[in-house]
Amino acid sequence: MTAESPLERERRDKVARWRAEGKEPYPWSFPHRVGTDVVRDACARLRPGEDDMAHPLRVAGRLRAIRVHGRTAFADLDDLAGSLQLFFRVDELGEEAFQAWIRDLDPGDIVGAQGAPAVSRRGEPSLLVTELTLLAKAIAPPPEKFHGLQDVEERIRRRYVDLLASPESRDRFRLRSALVAEAREFLHAEGFLEVETPVLLPIAGGAAAQPFVTRSNYLDEELQLRIALELPLKRLLVGGLERVFEIGKCFRNEDLDSTHSPEFTMLEAYWAYADYTDMRRLIEGLYARLGRRAREVAPENAKIAAAAEAFGRPFATVDFLDELERRSGITGLGTKGRDELRELARAAGSTVPADSSVGVFLDKLFEHYVEPHLTEPTFVLDHPTATTPLAKHHRAKPGRVERFEFFYRSYELGNAYSELNDPDEQERRFREQLSGRAAEQYAFDQDFVEALRYGLPPCTGVGIGVDRMVMALTGTPSIKEVILFPQARSA
RNA sequence: GGGCCCGUAGCUCAGUCCGGUCAGAGCAGGCGGCUCUUAACCGCAAGAUCGGGGGUUCGAAUCCCUCCGGGCCCGCCA
């Protein structure tokens, strides 16, 4: 650990003094407390300068600032409900107790206070303190009271300091919780069964990404951490569960940037006897509801209001190829060969390997020409077959699959298909995929094909990045700001 | 993988271009004052191997090399 600073030594001395006086600096509980909002409400009935000694209340929380005026003092106390000014006077506490308290309290200390709701002469709702209890002495000083913790690395490595110093950060993670709960309730109400499937798998499938690899001592086998939820969930539809979803961590052994984290939360839902058009309606309904919920939780926040507004309308809809041709000015993309597409992708700045598939080049062109324009909620429909091995071919458009991705602020929020359920075609597509350069890395999931042989009902499925969902609804530009403890190199 | 940028007191920041009272301020903490403040205020004193290591120089926070940590952009990631 870090060496003890002089500041910390002062604070430890205060703890020692506390104990010497027979008081416990780390007691066990503080019963019968109310939130600071309750005291504020009680103060609403009082005029400036008044107090209500007949109805004492107890609050507990962290001291943020202490302002001493000789024989009067004020302190700001934060709890999850907000903050409240504590008001100390010699008149209530007596000279000796007052001085002892003021001497030994520091910003960052966690205290419980009992007293009367009161409004200061300047009109600030307060608690006129008659009894104070130290609940936990803070040895480490909190960040600077006005600027808080600015260093991004420190905010990530010591999120607890960020949270204790920043109401905005606390609010963001509370909203995340509310949104995930809302998504869960939405799917439950739509008849989806929440399930949990394995994180550790012999072969991580369902997406193209490098897996993290670990090992079971008992099995004496290599295991991979899942990169998607898709394949186990579809097996459950084979088993007759009809509507299932899972919310859980997935792991991709790739770089970290403002919209990617190696460890991230995925929501996937699979729905039997429905197709991707049904899924579009479900997604619009989900996001509209999430927008309403975000607004309820944070009615004052302009970014959230803007996002809720955007998701309250039907999403825009564009065709993958039409939009790509329109934005790029290139025509006949659907019929061009691999060599031609490779040159177009290179001209657009992509450096993907020359032997990549047609689908890869089309994806690169789409990323370059179209994605920057997808700032409003937008469904992108009907991708070329070559881009997508797990989706069913389009019922009307040759060379396409029934797939949509949805975008907002130029990043992908999710991806859905009418799911491929023909076992022979699935095996063929897996083998085509394996014939590529990455064959060694992506051994295919033979048991999944075996499951399809028993009959997967026609179905649609969606994968939603939960972290990005929270970014979208809160207007947060970086994924690190919506993950409590993002990955960081060992210090 | 490529490029750009950052690291100075517990926290927030000046100082780096042009080497020489450049170790500075504010907050927090200590001491003293103040019975209505809310980034409280006033006075005094204290607090820093300037991310680590190496080099150039009479002299390095400042210039060079290297390492560590971080950020942003680009690339890669069915």
Instruction: Note down pLDDT in tens along chain A; length 491 residues.
Output: 345 678 888 899 999 988 988 888 999 999 999 999 999 999 999 999 999 999 999 999 999 999 999 999 999 999 999 999 999 999 999 999 999 889 889 999 999 999 999 999 999 999 999 999 999 999 998 998 888 898 888 898 899 999 999 999 999 999 999 999 999 999 999 999 999 999 999 988 888 888 889 999 999 999 999 999 999 999 999 999 999 999 999 999 888 888 999 999 999 999 999 999 999 999 999 999 999 999 999 998 999 999 999 999 999 999 999 999 999 999 888 888 888 998 898 888 888 888 788 888 899 999 999 999 999 999 999 999 887 888 999 999 998 999 999 999 999 999 999 999 999 999 888 887 766 545 444 567 889 999 999 999 999 999 999 999 999 999 898 999 999 998 887 75
The answer to whether some atom of strand B lies closer than 7 Å to the beta carbon of A197 is no
| ipTM of the shown complex | 0.88
User: What is the reported pLDDT for A46?
Assistant: 96
Composition of chain A by helix, strand, coil, percent to 5 = 40, 25, 35
> Cα–Cα distance between A279 and A460 in angstroms, integer?
7
3-state secondary structure of A393: strand
* A219 and A130 in a common domain: no
Quote the radius of gyration of chain A (alpha carbons, Å): 29
- Assess if residue A381 is contained within a domain: yes
Given this model, what pLDDT does residue A472 score?
A: 94
Q: Is residue A265 domain-shared with residue A398, that is, in the same domain?
A: yes
Check whether residue A351 has its CB closer than 7 Å to nucleic acid strand B. yes
Number of structural domains in chain A: 2
Cα A224 to Cα A68, A256, A433, A488: the distances in Å are 59, 19, 19, 21
Residues 33-52 of A with CB under 7 A from strand B: 49
pLDDT at A2: 42
CATH number at residue A47: 2.40.50.140
- Phi and psi at A23, nearest 5°, equal -105, 145
Q: Find which nucleotide's C1' atom is closest to A345's CA.
A: B75
Domain that holds residue A424: 164-315+377-481
Token pair for A150: 């600015």
Question: From CA A176, how far away is CA A463, in angstroms rounded?
Answer: 18
Quote the CA–CA distance of A58 and A34 in Å, as a whole number.
Answer: 6
Q: What is the pTM of this model?
A: 0.92
Is A365 a member of any domain?
no
Cβ of A252 < 7 Å from strand B?
A: yes
Secondary structure class of A46 (helix, strand, coil): coil
Q: Check which CATH number belongs to the domain holding A441 and give it.
A: 3.30.930.10
A197 and A282, same domain (yes or no): yes
> Is A224 a domain residue?
yes
Query: CA angle at residue A396 from A392 to A402, to 5 degrees?
Result: 30
Is residue A283 one of the residues assigned to a domain? Answer: yes
CA dihedral A22, A26, A32, A38 (to 10 degrees): 120
Note the pLDDT of residue A347: 86
Nucleotides of B under 7 A from a protein CB: 1, 9-13, 26-31, 33-41, 46-47, 68-78
Strand A459-465 to A411-418 pairing: antiparallel
Check if the beta carbon of residue A345 is closer than 8 Å to that of residue A365. yes
Residue A1 lies in a domain: no
- Answer whether residue A328 is part of any domain: no
What is the nearest nucleotide to A118, using C1' and CA? B36
Q: What is the pLDDT of residue A440?
A: 45
Same domain? A250 vs A304: yes
Distance, in Å, from the CA atom of A453 to the CA atom of A449, rounded to the nearest integer, reads 6
